[in-house]
Amino acid sequence: MTLAALVRSLRARELSPREAVSGCLVRIEELDPALNAFISVRAEEALAEAEALERTDARGPLHGVPVGIKDVIDVAGARTTAASAILADNVAARDADAVAALRRAGAVVVGKLNTHEFAFGATTTSPHFGPARNPWDTERICGGSSGGSGAAVAAGLVPGALGTDTGGSIRIPASFCGVTGLRPSTGRVSNRGVVPVAWSFDTVGPIARSAEDCALLLDALAPGAASTRGLAGDAAGLRVGVVGALFEGGIDPDVAAVAREAVRELAGAGAAVEEVEIPLLEEAGAIQQAMMLPEAAAAHLPWLRTRLEDYGADVRTRLLAGLFLPPTTYVTGMRARRVFRAGLAEVLRDVDLLACPQMPVAPPRIGEDTVTIDGVEVPYRLSFIRFNSPWSLAGVPAVSVPCGFVRGLPVGLALVGRPFEEATVLQAAHAFQQVTSWHEQRPLLPPPSGSYSPAERGD
């Protein structure tokens, strides 16, 4: 059942908050041992909160909706581990602003979701808490860093989740897990109560099955940013710029072909499509690294001094790299970001949105550090930077929507908008999902024995 469908069932009182929450908890108990999407589950607390909702007259827009929260975002009374040894016993005293917003809307937090250690990487294979596994093939990664959020939604453990995105960490797992993930504009959603990666880029956002689901969650996180009322209609009147460079070179041709077909489907939904070039596109990754790495090193400096050996090797290497970059590189990064943003703004004067593949490859196997593209072996970490960093660097909203499969594994299409125009991005994503059914595809998993009937699940 999508989050939107669940909201409708709860509003119609066809389902109670307790039934909705207990259904998720049963599914988590049954399936999460194979997926490791959750780091902790608040079963008793969630059921008590759901029962309390049933005793109140107040009915927020997410009344009784179970959600999962990435484990870098504070939930009062629960551990925020960031999938690290350093914060393994860190219990949050209060809710992060984003969690408080969801609770005000009536959502119930069922647990904390696995992440790459300190959200600083894109595999979600923490050496401390184990890898989150992709529901489409449990031998493969979910992407990251919000990998647990992507896996939990894809497997139907929760109808919606929060992730965070610094350089792709919402969009990458959304693509790899075949779900919908929105990175809002930087600054749109409060980061208070979130373990930082790099302050200039960190963004909290939703992962769910559909654009409509993401709009419901974003409307609670940042009222007025988007609403489901704005989703009506097709893509007619939208001008979409296709970032041609990202369909050629550095991408699995099969993935590029799926994304090309998705653009044709978007055009079929009424969008006017044209090819565009983005100035400094190929440099955007290095520009973001120049700023992100020193910011991350600064955020972690107290632990680098006292707990260096407690980091996983990959995260430790990147943090030390940030410590060693000359100070001038940060200033160079700031200056180059200004140039990049100006060039992108020029392009976005002529089109409303950009479209490109979300990732250059299908999800690799757990433990594989390299991917093969056109017969050439490249580091996985480097393969996806040019597809994700440009939009993080610009601070613009970007959504990944499921758009097909390659060798049985999901592929995502990225739709990128102007700053603070999340509503346009979600409108286009919704229009795409009205003429396609990729977002309705489900991995082959055991049927749940929870309280949902098959009809209620929408299966």
The residues of the shown chain that bind other proteins, judged by CB under 8 A, are 280, 283, 285-287, 289-290, 293, 301, 304-305, 308, 313, 316-318, 320-321, 323-326, 329, 331-336, 338-339
Name which of 438, 5, 427 is nearest 213 in CA terms: 5
Distance, in Å, from the CA atom of 113 to the CA atom of 38, rounded to the nearest integer, reads: 4
- Min dist. Cβ of residue 324 to other proteins (A): 5
- Min dist. Cβ of residue 199 to other proteins (A): 15
- Min dist. Cβ of residue 173 to other proteins (A): 23
**Nearer Cβ to other proteins, position 251 or 336?**
336
Position of tokens 């749940």? 448
376, β-bridge pairs = 373
**Nearer Cβ to other proteins, position 249 or 253?**
249
Distance, in Å, from the CA atom of 217 to the CA atom of 207, rounded to the nearest integer, reads: 9
Residue type, 199: W
**Nearer Cβ to other proteins, position 89 or 377?**
377
112 catalytic per annotation:
no
Label residue 352 left, alpha or beta by phi (over 0 means left) and psi (-120 to 50 means alpha). alpha
**Contact between residue 342 and residue 280 where contact means Cβ atoms under 8 Å apart:** no
The tokens describing 428, both together, are 């286009």
The tokens describing 151, both together, are 């896996």
- Phi first, then psi, for residue 335 (nearest 5°) are -70, -45
Catalytic residue among 22, 84, 126, 169: 169
Distance, in Å, from the CA atom of 144 to the CA atom of 113, rounded to the nearest integer, reads: 11
Catalytic residue among 145, 175, 383, 392: 145
What DSSP line would sit under 63-96, residue for residue? TT-EEEEETTB--TTSB--TT-STTTT-B-SS--
**Contact between residue 387 and residue 360 where contact means Cβ atoms under 8 Å apart:** yes
Query: Do the strands 353-357 and 239-243 form a parallel or antiparallel pair, or are they unpaired?
Result: parallel
Distance, in Å, from the CA atom of 294 to the CA atom of 327, rounded to the nearest integer, reads: 8
**Nearer Cβ to other proteins, position 35 or 385?**
385
SS3 113: strand
70 catalytic per annotation:
yes
Helix (H) / strand (E) element for 49: namely: helix 43-54
**Nearer Cβ to other proteins, position 186 or 289?**
289
- Min dist. Cβ of residue 310 to other proteins (A): 13
Query: Do the strands 108-113 and 370-373 form a parallel or antiparallel pair, or are they unpaired?
Result: unpaired
- Min dist. Cβ of residue 77 to other proteins (A): 33
SS3 423: helix
Residue type, 52: A
Measured CA angle at 200 (ends 305, 218), to 5 deg: 120
Catalytic residue among 9, 22, 70, 175: 70
**Nearer Cβ to other proteins, position 290 or 411?**
290
Q: Burial level of 138, CB count in 10 A (0-12/13-18/19+)? A: middle
**Nearer Cβ to other proteins, position 16 or 329?**
329
Distance, in Å, from the CA atom of 401 to the CA atom of 335, rounded to the nearest integer, reads: 32
- Min dist. Cβ of residue 454 to other proteins (A): 50
Distance, in Å, from the CA atom of 372 to the CA atom of 457, rounded to the nearest integer, reads: 38
- Min dist. Cβ of residue 244 to other proteins (A): 21
Please report, in angstroms and rounded to a whole number, the separation of the first and last CA atoms in the chain. 7
- Min dist. Cβ of residue 369 to other proteins (A): 13
The tokens describing 449, both together, are 């024995």
451 catalytic per annotation:
no
Helix (H) / strand (E) element for 216: namely: helix 211-221
- Min dist. Cβ of residue 343 to other proteins (A): 11
Catalytic (active-site) positions: 70, 145, 169
